[in-house]
Structure 1
């Protein structure tokens, strides 16, 4: 597979571009570390004249730190997101995580999904 020519070989209809989602789970005696990575063959903007970056082979991601607390799914303690070279740290309001070598950038947002509160993230289009 040649990933150096995505720009030239993707469909003209950008609604047909195919991204991929990957995940990984690492487990310790006390925690699960759940990582999601989202691959995009192209990353572009409608406003390149503002100096915004356009490039091939983009990968963004999110890492969740979940404490094993005896419940079925554990307790979310922290979340780190990455896009390009920017990392942002978030925590639920009741987490004991605090600023240290890195700063906490915000509070994790949750959405009710059929009676279950689930953390949510978003990615911008393009």
Structure 2
């Protein structure tokens, strides 16, 4: 199954880098809301934060709440210098989340060479200043 392979794959993100996209589960009732986490992009030389939630859970603060924990993990546990996020140009909800996480737009780009997107970034100093 996917979850077992994800954490046990010898070449996977979790095994190699102790990071990855993880399920977000609501404590009150065990509902699976979506996923959130870090991904090391070796070729590009950075780590990105990603989050994706089921539509019925949009706008309830779950992406921001999980994103804050992902930031903590990135800067406290991995001592990253900076973290990035790729957000589709029309995904206004994810743009709001990125801004709530203290991220600022670095530049715009074409995702997969065709979809307009924004490249957000936060560095460690900004994180520690905002979330001390």
TM > 0.5 fold call: no
More helix by share: 2
After TM superposition, the score normalised by the length of structure 2 is: 0.34
Rg comparison, structure with higher value: 1
Q: Judging by fraction of residues, say which structure has more strand.
A: 1
